[in-house]
Amino acid sequence: MRSLILTLPVLLALPAPALAQTAVAVCTEQSELEQLLESDAAIRPDGCREARINILEHGRDRLCRIDFAPEAEGVIAELRDVAAPRQWWIRCADLGAALQ
């Protein structure tokens, strides 16, 4: 019984499973994104990479997690995370409203 009480908070803290995942191109410069779009992604400038957006349920809201480096691993990824986190969270409704 004691171990159940100790593990229960950990189980409650786990994130809900993702409902959907979408991959999008992100670039550090507007001109790089324009080049990517004009070439139908045949040309991928150095400043562009794939980001993933995951949608998760949280009560009555949906939360969007934007992962700017989904494949990043190792020491380089950890150093990059210190400079700028690779994952950002936003309420999906706020993200949708910003796009309108």
Closest CA to 70 of 89, 94, 54, 91: 54
Query: What pLDDT does 77 receive?
Result: 64
What pLDDT, on the 0 to 100 scale, is given for residue 16?
A: 55
The pLDDT of residue 37:
94
For the chain, list residues with pLDDT below 50: 1-14
CA distance 22 to 51: 8
Q: Please give the model's pTM, rounded to 2 decimal places.
A: 0.62
pLDDT at 15: 52
